[in-house]
Structure 1
Amino acid sequence: MAKYCAHCGSPLKEDAKFCPGCGFPVNPAQSAEHVQPAPPQIMEQAAAEAEPQTRYTAKSLTLKKRIYIPIIAVIVIVGALFFIGKTMADPQRTIDAFKNAVQNQDVHTLAGLVHTNGNMPADRSQIKAMLALFQKQPGIYTNVLHSFQQSIKSADTQSGSSSPYYLEKSGKKFFIFNNYQIRANLIHPLVITNLKGMQVGIEGVGKAQTAAQASANSPETLTLAGVIPGYYTIYGKSSSMNTSVQEAIHSAGVKVDFSGIYIPVRSNISDAELYVNGKDTGKTLAQVTEWGPFKENDSPSFYAKYTVNGQSIQTDSVNISDSSYDGSSLTLDQAENDGIDLTFDESGSDNFYVLDRNDSGTNRNTLNSYFSNFFDALGTAVSSGDTSEFASYFETDTDFSNMQIANAKKFNSQGISESNQSFDITNIQYIGKDTFSMDVSEAWNESYTDQNDNFVNKDFTLKSNYQVKETAPGQLKIVGQKITDRQELN
């Protein structure tokens, strides 16, 4: 038997749970026995109205789904994007990436994370220098991480922090979120040098600069290329000194001094050759007044050697060390300030004579002493006949020396006595081959008994040109004499 909705009279299917006409639930307990058939007119009207009402409800539900589903999807997508964007813009994410890259020594990643204060990415060589700084001075790395955390807590940037690296806001990410970068201020180290032409720079960074204006009395200061904080090798190269220093550059004001240290050197024999670190410099002490350049912590040694006619003498060595001055050793600072003296001990002898080829002003004193002794020996040889000392002023067994000795003996045999009253040496010149020329004005007194047994006492003067030669260190020999004038005074 057919069933009908008790509410609107619409016909119901056997297993219907809801009325297709009005949507009311069908009471499961309802049965055909309890439901009265609707009148035919009502049944026809309900049937006519049931179909359009059902179509209208299904379309409404479909339209609602088409409207609400895209809206919900957009909300979900926007929310997801917001969450992702906020996560990606989180400064802690940048800090963590930095920490991991430092731990892994990941130069490539760090090169993309670290920027200069000119918003330029740091290059790989400077990133390596940064990592070296963190390794050698871990306290700096700790300070950097602390600065990053403080940046997150503060709305202000940390560019004024004492940390060499800081976290700073840099524009927007996705037009909404604050973007963060790790920044470092570029530092320009300074180099001072007194060596003209020295090229200075930072290894692996930029181009070298040349100290074109430097001089010993006026050092030049050069500003090197800007670098991020790190551990760098600063170098200086010149014809006289190549040097380098590894420097931790993490704050402004880094200054490296590549000035050469020059040590004044003196000797009592100016024509002696200077030896440094056991090697002949090829220079005499007359040609150099100081030697260098040396750099800090150098420990050179010095001595001088004087060679004449294949025979040499040399001074004791003077060493530069960390100990105090003790006569043969002194510090680099002491040597720079006070200079060093290379003294030939042989010069203390009365018969040690050395002439300066550059006529330093000492030659006249040396020759005055030499000729004073020579004229005394000449007077003794003539007056007493003892020519042993007189002969020592000449080269052995030469025509000139044999003639001089013979003349002295001849005068002695004639009973002549001579003594020098005075002399004056002028026009001293070095004429080559270890030989010097000089003019000597001499005043003599001579006495003898003539053929008539009369005692004769007279004075006379000579003007002579002598040639004196160094034959060995400290030894002078007279190798020539030419009398240009003789005058008897009475």
Structure 2
Amino acid sequence: MQKQEVTLDLSKPSYSKRGNGRLVFDGGDFTAEFPREYNAGSQINISLMFDSGETYTQYKSQYFDFTSSVKKETSRKAHSILMRVKGEGILSFCRQCGHKLDDTTLKFCPSCGMSFHPDPTETNHKPVPPVTRAKAPAQKSKGKQLASLLIIWLVVAGSVFVWYGKKQTDPMNQVEAFEEAAAQKDGKAMAALLTPAVKEMKITDDTGQQLVDYLNENPDVKEEMVKLFKEQAVTKRTADIPEEHPQLILKKGEKKWFFFDTYQYEVQPYYANIHVNFKETAITLDGKSYGTTKEDEAVIKAGPFAPGAYMLVADYKGEYGKEKTERTIDFYESLSAEASFYVEMTGNGVAVTSNRPEAILYVNGESTGKTIREMRKYGPVKRDGSVELSAVYDYPFGSGNAEPVQVKDQEKIHFDVHPDRQDVYEGLRKTIVDHTHEWIQAFENQDTSYFTHVQDDAYFARQRGYYNESSSEGKQWTGSFNYLRFDLDSLVISEENGITYASVDAEVNITGRTYSASSYDGDYIDDTSDFWTYGLKYDETAENWYIVNTTKIDGLSGSNIETIR
């Protein structure tokens, strides 16, 4: 329902300031006209006010227009009407003929011509001068009351504002939100609590998710962080960066609503020092390029980053070929604001293997100081044939070498290391010469114990057979060494299960004299030569070569002959 109140002066025709009705006063009679329609059941209250302030009469009607008479009394003079209207809708009628009016702004009825706004001069009544009433003292009192009420309202509103502001900005709220986000593993909620310490650092939902994952994987860290945050929330003191967990601090932020301090989790920045061994290596971290190295053993600084794991990509394109490597770096593992990470590029390297894994790798005749087993892959290496690789192994009896290999397009190089032929031959030669002298002594004394360079039971058995035959015939033998001729072309070296074997062909020339055991009668003198293939092995424990087999042959076939006399 709509409520409207208008006070109308009865001294002359008057209109409502709000246009909700008009009143024509005719000396003692008045007519109230309403250009607004009121639905059936609406109520119109009219009160006539007099000088005495009394209510002379009150007229209630359920009609849309009406005419009423005011009693004429000399002692009382009506000067105003208080008109209260309840109702809704729009409908107007001419009070003369009842014609329905659609336009409430008309001055004349289109049906009967009645004027809706009579000119005061056309009436038979003199205008009644308006009555001026002094303001009642009660109005001042009412103003004071309103002022008091306003003050009270402001005090109450201010108190509520302070209470609400403190509640909303209580730092303990942040701590509880931090715990809740971690417990629910809600990375997005956690990210909303974080603010970067430097504007260049990005805080994303992934940052928040990595934090909650880290806290749940390290519950002791979460417990210590929450404990520290609660202490800071109680003291409301901006924290220094803690040494144990420097990733976050609860810090006072900007004012809210001009009066209240806010608190936020400030994420501390991390910087990466990336050490790269090759120049011309492009570094990308977290999808952002940080440039290309201009020299070997360079350092590229990247950041700032929020705590978390990031993908580091190193892309090399240089004289050693092309190489790309990726790795994940994690700042949560570092307690320092600057963390160092090392990128070892191998370039276009080549894998190396050998039958002697302990052999030392040589590059262009220079030792690398590392074994084949340690190296496994050599690089970077140029592929234009300017680099030659080889392997050297130190045997107990001498050195061993592999054939040098030029590096071109190989992915793998195998080095067959063999003992140096000269070193092996010298060892074999000494053993065979010593053995020949021992053989003469053993035959003269018919005693195999003279043999110190033989590890062959069959050989010993054969020699004892010779001795027994000579003894049964009553014969003795004596002899002298003439020479040994070695066929160096026949030298063969092999390795099996870590044991080195070698063989060589040789001619043995000894002058021997067979005589009767009872008298030296010079029955038989022999100075012919015998040809043998001597098989030997190297005993690393004894550090010596031993004859393990002998095979009689027809002669020497090589052209590289050495004679020992």
User: TM bucket by the smaller chain?
Assistant: 0.3 to 0.5
Instruction: Name the one with the larger helix percent.
Output: 1
**Which of the two has higher C-alpha Rg?**
2
TM-score by length of structure 2 reads 0.36
Instruction: Name the one with the larger strand percent.
Output: 2
More RCO (CA 8 Å, sep 6+): 1
